[in-house]
């Protein structure tokens, strides 16, 4: 289980377990109907967990990234869609905390996220960019202290249910596609016209439909930092770590079901070793390997990033948090490898359970786990990640494979 042992967990873990119970109770209906996990998100709000990363002085819990990842993992074992919504929300909150707390509008926004339990969504995808988050077609236009923005977004996860959006755009009409800003837009200050539906194989409750997004507001809502820095320093690293938490939670649930299946076989045939025992070893080995990599990166991140809290941190060099191209390759490989290893772990679980795992409605069913975890290789396509990361590795001079 991913967690931060230094985080004051009194009461919080119980709150998470209550949400996990709600998410699990409705997970099959959410998946079957392709609907938003309203009950689980309402439980997250009721327990104050949407603002748990926000500093205590602003109404949150001041939670570390390791704590957030651990809770995403627990939620992933109950309902992949709920866990992914939780993780995506926390990714956006991390960007607000890392870059906005020195600015009055954003500091007040952080407080509102914690106190009002606002659900935050991201609009980074855009028609015409080929899925490249670091490229925008639309441009923000500012005049007399106000901005206007219109964007064609092919996917906005839980867009119809969010209270706030962080939206990427070119910094101005004459700016290059890669010269981007990030702007915060409350749902009350935008109009969204649906352009596509959402009927996927898995992660059905994320409701990632397409929209034409139009908004206006004050210039204070434009985060005063280059999106290139936000993406490289916060959004991408946090995404890969929290997504990894979600995916390993989905895989761990499947492997746990498989272990229960093997135990039942062993009890029914005393003195024999069930045929699935060997596969169980492989699946648990995959989980342990992933856990070690994720926990190591989370510890290094938290050691060097306070995210606005009063935690004592050290420099990135002291913490061993990588920088520049090394960080990009490290995080890219984490995402690529965890997404594929989780898939393999769930497949092993299904092979162990056989038809009992293949069928829906049994205590060993892992079909939803398999369908949900398949999305991991497509959220930033692994082929693109492998190609880009391979190119970066060619340029690096550091020794490889050293302990």
Same structural domain for residues 200 and 322? no
Regarding beta strands 141-143 and 146-156, do their DSSP bridges make them parallel or antiparallel, or are they unpaired? Answer: antiparallel
Q: Are residues 355 and 262 in the same domain?
A: yes
Domain containing residue 209: CATH number: 2.40.110.10
CATH of residue 363: 1.20.140.10
| Residue 366 and residue 236 in one domain | yes
Give residue 382's pLDDT.
Answer: 95
pLDDT of residue 396: 86
Which residues is 280 bridged to in the sheet? none
Q: How does strand 164-170 pair with strand 180-186?
A: antiparallel
Does one domain contain both 270 and 388?
A: yes
> Closest by alpha carbon to 124, among 43, 230, 277?
230
**What integer pLDDT is reported at residue 4 of this predicted model?**
63
Task: Give whole-number Cα distances, 371 to 22, 78, 131, 343, in Å.
Answer: 21, 14, 22, 9
How many helices (H) and strands (E) are present in the chain, helices listed first? 13, 7
Verify that 154 and 110 share a domain, yes or no: no
Q: Domain boundary at 67, 99, 118, which?
A: 118
- Our CA dihedral for 363, 368, 374, 375, rounded to 10 degrees, sits at -140
Q: Do 107 and 128 belong to one domain?
A: no
Residue 106 CB contacts under 8 Å (≥ 6 apart), including other chains: 96, 99, 100, 184, 223
Q: How many CB atoms lie within 10 A of CB 61?
A: 23
| Tens digit of pLDDT at every position of the chain (403 positions) | 665 655 655 588 899 999 999 999 999 999 999 999 999 999 999 999 999 999 999 999 999 999 999 999 999 999 999 999 999 999 999 999 999 999 999 999 999 999 999 999 999 999 999 889 999 999 999 999 999 999 999 999 999 999 999 999 999 999 999 999 999 999 999 999 999 999 999 999 999 999 999 999 999 999 999 999 999 999 999 999 999 999 999 999 999 999 999 999 999 999 889 999 999 999 999 999 999 999 999 999 999 999 988 899 999 999 999 999 999 999 999 999 999 999 999 999 999 999 999 999 999 999 999 999 999 999 989 999 999 999 999 998 878 877 6
Same-domain check for residues 210 and 287: no
253 and 215 housed in the same domain: no
DSSP one-letter string for 215-280? EEEEGGGB-SS-HHHHIIIIIHHHHHHHHHHHHHHHHHHHHHHHHHHHHHHHHHSTT---TTHHHH
**pLDDT for res 398:** 79
Whole-prediction pTM: 0.96
Residue 174's CB: how many other CB atoms inside 10 A? 8
280 and 323 share one domain: yes
6 in a structural domain = no
The total number of structural domains that make up the chain: 3
User: Residue 400: what pLDDT?
Assistant: 80
* Structural domain includes residue 200: yes
Please list the helix, strand and coil fractions of the chain in percent, rounded to the nearest 5, in that order: 55, 10, 30
Domain containing 263: what range?
Answer: 227-395
Cα separations (Å) of 373 from 24, 159, 290, 340? 16, 21, 14, 9
Rounded CA-CA distance 82/250 in Å is 11
299 and 234 together in one domain: yes
What three-state secondary structure class fits 164?
A: strand
Name the domain boundary from 171, 201, 221. 221
* Domain assignment of residue 345, yes or no: yes
Q: Is residue 378 domain-resident? A: yes
Handedness of CA 123, 129, 132, 138 (dihedral sign): negative
Q: Indicate if 282 and 356 belong to the same structural domain.
A: yes
Q: Which of 162, 189, 221 is the last residue of a domain?
A: 221
Q: Which domain CATH number covers 34?
A: 1.10.540.10
């Amino acid at each position: 289980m991913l967690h931060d042992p230094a985080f004051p967990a009194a009461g919080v873990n119980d709150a998470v377990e209550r949400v996990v119970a709600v998410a699990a109770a409705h997970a099959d209906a959410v998946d079957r109907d392709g609907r938003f996990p309203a009950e689980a998100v309402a439980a997250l709000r009721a327990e104050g967990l949407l603002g748990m990363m926000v500093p205590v002085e602003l109404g949150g819990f001041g939670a570390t990234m390791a704590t957030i990842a651990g809770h995403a993992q627990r939620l992933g074992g109950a309902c992949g869609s709920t866990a992914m919504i939780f993780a995506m929300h926390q990714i956006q909150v991390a960007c607000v905390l890392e870059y906005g707390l020195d600015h009055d509008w954003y500091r007040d926004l952080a407080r509102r996220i914690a106190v009002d339990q606002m659900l935050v969504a991201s609009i980074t995808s855009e028609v015409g960019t080929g899925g490249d988050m670091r490229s925008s077609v639309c441009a923000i236009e500012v005049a007399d202290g106000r901005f206007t923005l219109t964007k064609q977004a092919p996917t906005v996860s839980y867009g119809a249910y969010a209270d706030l959006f962080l939206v990427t755009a070119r910094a101005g009409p004459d700016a290059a596609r890669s010269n981007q800003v990030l702007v915060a837009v409350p749902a009350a200050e935008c109009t969204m016209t649906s352009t596509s539906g959402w009927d996927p194989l898995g992660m059905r409750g994320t409701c990632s439909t397409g929209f034409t997004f139009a908004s206006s507001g004050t210039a204070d809502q434009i985060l005063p930092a280059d999106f290139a820095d936000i993406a490289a320093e916060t959004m991408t690293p946090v995404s890969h770590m929290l997504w990894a938490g979600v995916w390993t939670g989905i895989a761990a649930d499947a492997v746990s079901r498989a272990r229960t299946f093997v135990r039942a076989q062993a009890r029914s045939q005393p003195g024999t070793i069930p045929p699935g025992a060997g596969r169980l070893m492989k699946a648990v080995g995959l989980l342990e390997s992933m856990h070690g990599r994720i926990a190591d990166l989370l510890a290094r991140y938290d050691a060097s990033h306070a995210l606005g809290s009063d935690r004592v941190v050290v420099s990135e060099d002291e913490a061993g948090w990588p920088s520049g191209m090394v960080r990009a390759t490290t995080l890219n490989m984490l995402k690529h490898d965890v997404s594929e290893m989780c898939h393999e772990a769930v497949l092993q679980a299904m092979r162990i359970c056989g038809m009992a795992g293949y069928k829906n409605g049994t205590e060993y069913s892992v079909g939803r786990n398999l369908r949900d975890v398949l999305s991991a290789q497509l959220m930033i396509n692994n082929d693109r990640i492998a190609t880009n990361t391979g190119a970066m590795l060619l340029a690096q001079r550091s020794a490889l494979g050293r302990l």
